[in-house]
Chain A
Amino acid sequence: MALSRRDFLKTSIAASTAATVGLPVAQEAAAAVKASEAGWQWDKAVCRFCGVGCGIMVATKDGRLVATKGDPDAPVNRGLNCIKGYFNGKIQSGKDRLTQPLMRMKDGKFDKKGAFVPVTWEQAFDEMERQFRRVYAEKGPTGIAMLASAQKTVQEGYAFNKLFKAGWRSNNIDPNARNCMASAVAAFYSVFGTDEPSGNYDDIEYADTMVLWGANMAEMHPILWSRITNRRLGHKDARVINISTFRNMSSDIADLELIIKPNSDLAIQNYIAREIIARDAVNWDFVNKHCVFATGPYDIGYGMRPTDKYAFAAEKDVQAKELRVKLDKYEAIAQRRKEGEVVEQKNTANPAAHWLISFDDFKRAVEPYTLDFVAELAKGDADEPLDRFKAKLKQLADHYIDPKRKVVSFWTMGFNQHVRGTWVNEQCYMNHLLLGKQSQPGNGAFSLTGQPSACGTAREVGVFCHRLPADRLIANPAHRAYTEKQWNLPARTLNPQIGSFYAKILRDLEDGRVKWLWVAVNNPFQSHPNINHWLKAAREMDNFIVVSDAYPGVSAKVADLILPSAMIFEKWGVYGNAERRTQHWRQQVMAPGEARPDLWQALEFSKRFKIKEFWGEQKVPGLKAEGYEDGKLPNVLDEAVKMGYSPGATLYEVLFATPANRKYRWPDPIAKGHPNSVATLLGDGWFPEKALWQEYVPFTRGDGKDLADFDVYHGDKVRGLIWPVVDGKEVPWRFNEQYDPYVKKGAGFEFYGKLFKAIPRGDLDKVTDPKPVSVAGKAKIFFRPYAAPVEQPDANYDLWFCTGRVLEHWHTGTMTRRVPELHRAVPAAVLWMHPDDAKARGLKRNDLAWVESRRGKIQIRIETGGRNAMPRGYTYAPFFDEGVLVNKICIDAACPISKESDYKKSAVRVYKA
């Protein structure tokens, strides 16, 4: 029987699909697959998008991508793909892909007011270097900055981090992960003393109750959601609880749905803690052996500027709360104060300080969080009867407390993008620790990530203004000394002063502190809140902005120089996902035109600078550190010469193409015939991705963060490895003796993270004995109070506004809007609102409306149905659409500890356009 080409393909696709999900395939079908895939080369890779980290297989033929499929052997997704993942192969083929450097020019020269003109890489780097030197001469290391990314590969993050911190002696490099994961990290540090989750995705298949706190997993983590759905339907006692400020797709299979007011999660967690104590359900054996109790100051501000000098007139009333806050009636009860009391925010400079308290103090602190108090404060849907909401709160506590139930709590941006994000993360551990339900299969608080390498690149490599690789900190002299030794730098090369965090880099641009900015793999001028300020700083001030991107997104258009970048399968790379799984991939195809990998951009640009230009004395305003003269970085050149460096050596030679790194040669048999653009373009015979990986891994070893060698990950059978990898074995549950060799034998559990493990003693209000006490091996159970959002609806701006993502698009849509399928599925952002709220404003579905806040206004279409159901008084719009710059209206308040922006709580008014 002759099959048509189409039928033949269908048989082949069905057989491939079956094989991918582990179903038996008929012999004829297998033959069809073989025939239709003749000449294809399949290779394993990882998805470009979210933090779940699904494995995919990509097929190439004649240097072109021809097919993608879910990787059946990937433990994360077991062959499945979500709708974004499905189109991985298409994101690089958009019609407006950037293929050559573009610079603003007038009369053949760079001009800030000029139009974009194609230039060569040489011309682009010449101008970039000239501007760099101008700014560095005027401002020193604090005048330059990079907005980096949790979507960079590990090697890209590592190279840029080293170039900035060791080469240019500037700590002004901070990733978009700051706006995504920073609150999670701050809590991992304060509670456990080490970053990243205890468990892994297999927790889903062990859990009885899965609680989503501010995580719409059905849209944002669809493949994990399919595992949760499977568990819910396949296990008769499994239950799902969805806690959110509005009804979303995750409610579809939820057994219990709690619609809550913004920030009331802080109160609900304390209600659960109070119930645990009241029902005598504290796991005392676990708590006594493995935990201590702690708290910190409440008067920590909201992460806004301390001055209103740069505020728009309408912003000034909210901005003033950075200095002084009048407590409302709920805060008064929750913080044991008086309603109307004005509290000076005295701890904005040191918000993370904390101290030990007694269990009796802890118990006294949670006492006000009764069911009646919390239900009244937290009920978010005005149309829900209070008694029904109370019953739900009680059921929520029952699920946590039931000794027979294993409980996993998942969260993402609802917790992290929160003016008290660190606190609410800490509170989630509080309840799991009180119950002893942590670090065991199916039991644990599990922080999910938004981006593909928030963990692998931003966090593990330490591409933050205050971090160094593998949980080391800029502020810690021993950590700097270790890093200098690993990097072969003279002592005191590294700058001991913490750099500017993400929001601060943009504020520095506005107030003239930073004047040279490199943006790569993120889109700050669309994604950072309150963008009218930053657009002005970029376009109307004497600042030089370089943007490396694959498509002309908003930030590229705002730039002075655009560098065309290679995309995921056009380079070698590594991502690390939310379950500590490190996944490598090979380059599959070549980037189009002159587009080049970011790693090459860092390395090639570093050739233009010599150590003698940076390793002499440098002024750093405000620098104060032991062993350093105030305001100065020392001259370390003489020491460098003693170490054998020539003052004229380039940063490329000293930091990257070192003799040790040059031992890793390109070509390498591990490539199996795949290309390497970085090695080929550099042309000096080494294999940068492998060499930099091998240079990086010693940072992680022996410290509970161990990564394996480069070639191990490229093994045919390996589908990423969960770190720490000790003696070739992964550690699926950290801190648990049964799984983790870092735990002392016989201890059962040990929270061995080393950071912040010596703290003073105090009571609920203050430190009483400043002498640090060691809490080595223990996790901290924090008391953190309820605090109200800094901006709330009032007579002028009468609705809540929240922003986030939709399933079909990735963040700012730079890639996904180039896939016509995804664009057509959700072409433009809409504002979800309650039909009654729309009606009261003379609006109906599909009407065009203005949404206005203190910071700006946008035009958008109204949606009153569909996948989200807003309670009265609440609105939501995603931020992917560059035609509707939603972040113009968002407040740039942040968690003062983590510095992560709160995108979820602005006040707006909506009216007909």
Chain B
Amino acid sequence: MNLSGILVAARPEWLSRVVADLTALPGVEVHQVDEATGRIVVVQEAADIPAEIEGLKRIKALPHVVIAEMVYHYLADDRHVYADLPPELSAQDSQAGAVPAYLND
């Protein structure tokens, strides 16, 4: 489970449209809206972590969104995630410190 707190901002005149667009996104909940300043607090839940990153990009790409930045990150103890190294780094894992072949070409 991946949870993040995201601040979204929009011009006040577009606020309701942006809130509607956000609510329509799967995994996104709008928790708080500040009419005066156009700020929206969103909590995003994503099944896995690439989806979380994509989720933020999706929010940034919505029309009339001025800012979408992460604020809060819950460090879930997620074994599935921690076990997953980039494949070429994993491949080297067993031979810690061996000079990789690509250094020798």
Contact = CB atoms under 8 A, between A and B. Distances in A.
A100 B70 CA distance: 35
Nearest to B88: A883
Contacts of A507: none
Nearest to A90: B75
Given A13-B3, A17-B5, A820 B103 contact: no
Contacts of A115: 97-98
B67 A82 contact: no
**Most chain-B CB neighbours within 10 Å: which of A67, A86, A95, A229?**
A86
A87 B4 CA distance: 11
Interface string A414-457: 00000000000000000000000000000000000000000000
Given A17-B6, A21-B7, A820-B81, A116 B98 contact: yes
A447 to B, nearest CB: 24
A792 interface: no
Contacts of B92: 96, 552
Interface stretch (A401-409, A480-488, A822-830): A822-830
Interface string A528-563: 000000010001000000000000101011100010
A557 B66 CA distance: 44
A350 interface: no
A885 B103 CA distance: 9
A821 B52 CA distance: 8
A827 to B, nearest CB: 7
Interface stretch (A3-11, A648-656, A742-750): A3-11
Q: Chain A interface secondary structure, helix, strand, loop or mixed?
A: helix
A116 B97 contact: yes
B103 A95 contact: no
Given A95-B85, A96-B85, A558 B103 contact: yes
A233 B66 CA distance: 8
A70 B6 CA distance: 11
Contacts of A883: 88, 102
A21 B41 CA distance: 9
B56 A83 contact: yes
B69 A13 contact: no
Contacts of A479: none
B7 A80 contact: yes
A580 interface: no
- Scoring A23, A94, A230 by chain B CB atoms within 10 A of each residue's CB, the highest score goes to A23
B12 to A, nearest CB: 11
A113 to B, nearest CB: 10
Interface in A805-853: 817-818, 820-821, 823-825, 827
B99 A539 contact: yes
Interface in A211-262: 222-223, 226, 229-230, 233
B75 A68 contact: yes
B103 A554 contact: yes
A694 interface: no
A226 B70 CA distance: 12
Interface in A340-390: none
A102 interface: yes
Contacts of B49: 820-821, 824
Given A6-B1, A11-B31, A818-B85, A67 B75 contact: yes
Contact of A827 (B31, B67, B69, B86): B86
Given A14-B32, A17-B5, A86-B4, A535 B71 contact: no
A236 B45 CA distance: 36
A13 B74 contact: yes
A195 B65 CA distance: 39
B84 A820 contact: yes
A221 to B, nearest CB: 13
A116 B92 CA distance: 13
A335 interface: no
Interface in B11-46: 11, 29, 31-32, 34, 39, 41-43, 45
A197 B45 CA distance: 41
Contacts of B90: 95
A557 B53 contact: no
A69 B97 CA distance: 34
A821 B31 contact: no
A9 B74 contact: yes
Contacts of B53: 83, 821, 824-825
Nearest to A226: B67
Contacts of A20: 5, 71-72
B66 A229 contact: yes
A89 interface: yes
A455 B34 CA distance: 38
Given A116-B98, A562-B97, A69 B72 contact: yes
A665 B80 CA distance: 44
A382 B39 CA distance: 42
A10 B99 contact: no
B88 A21 contact: no
Interface in B56-105: 56, 66-67, 69-75, 81-86, 88-90, 92-93, 96-100, 102-103
A79 interface: yes
Interface in A64-104: 65-70, 79-83, 85-87, 89-90, 93-96, 102
A13 B4 contact: yes
B76 to A, nearest CB: 9
Contacts of B81: 820-821
B70 A67 contact: no
A67 B99 contact: no
A226 B45 CA distance: 23
B92 to A, nearest CB: 7
A882 B85 CA distance: 14
Contacts of B71: 16-17, 20-21, 69-70, 79-81
Contacts of B83: 95
B57 to A, nearest CB: 9
Nearest to A17: B5
Given A23-B32, A535-B103, A10 B43 contact: yes
A543 to B, nearest CB: 15
A498 interface: no
B31 A14 contact: yes
Nearest to B6: A17
A9 B34 CA distance: 21
A18 interface: yes
A23 B96 contact: no
Interface string A13-32: 11111101101000000000
A95 B73 contact: no
Contacts of B50: 821, 824-825
Given A21-B7, A818-B85, A96 B96 contact: yes
A848 to B, nearest CB: 14
A230 B89 CA distance: 39
Nearest to A823: B86
A67 to B, nearest CB: 6
Given A13-B5, A93-B82, A102-B96, A86 B43 contact: no
Contacts of A116: 96-98
Interface in A115-147: 115-116
A30 B12 CA distance: 26
Nearest to B103: A535
Contacts of A885: 102-103
A230 B67 contact: yes
Nearest to A23: B34
Contacts of A85: 70
Contacts of A95: 82-83, 85, 90, 93
Contacts of A21: 7, 39, 41, 71
Contacts of B70: 70, 80-83, 85-86
14 contacts: A13-B72, A21-B7, A21-B41, A80-B70, A90-B75, A223-B69, A229-B66, A233-B11, A552-B92, A557-B100, A562-B97, A817-B89, A818-B89, A824-B50
Given A79-B7, A96-B96, 7 more contacts: A14-B41, A21-B7, A81-B73, A86-B73, A95-B85, A96-B92, A230-B9
Closest 7 CB pairs of A and B: A17-B5, A116-B97, A14-B31, A69-B72, A86-B70, A80-B69, A824-B50
